[in-house]
Amino acid sequence: MKTLSEHLAFLLSWLVTSLLLYLAHIIFPGSVVLGTYKFTVVDALIYSGFWISFLNWAIKDMVIVRGIHPESKFGSLVFYILAGSLAVWMVARFAPYTGLGLVSYRWALLLGVFIGFVVARMKSFIKASR
């Protein structure tokens, strides 16, 4: 049962991340670009949202294995924001393959703040429901 909830949490994270990317694209179309000559906006949302979510989870797992994951709620929130920013920046660096383009690293930081905050809140709700 634990595996099912982890898979559901990942899918929910993927969906929320994609939604936040789409909102950023709609509100700031000149700074957050979705799609290329190969990808439609929907394709870019699927690929970018997946890779950002995957990298968030991979970074978290690597940090937990190293034993440096913060225990406090504030430390955990800061961790998710930094991991989200790093994941967004890494995905945006491979724009021809993911379909996500950003004007500068500042947008990766800003998107990472929102994605990190929402993912951290979502995780706290999932843990509370267990």
User: Going residue by residue through the chain (130 aa), what tens digit of pLDDT does each one get?
Assistant: 455 577 888 898 899 999 999 999 999 999 999 988 888 999 999 999 999 999 988 888 888 788 776 777 787 778 888 888 999 999 999 999 999 999 999 999 999 999 888 877 877 777 666 6
Cα–Cα distance between 114 and 80 in angstroms, integer? 10
Q: Is 38 helix (H, G, I), strand (E, B) or coil?
A: coil
Task: Note whether 100 and 57 are within 8 A (CB).
Answer: no
pTM of the model: 0.86
| Residue boundaries of the structural domains of the chain | 2-129
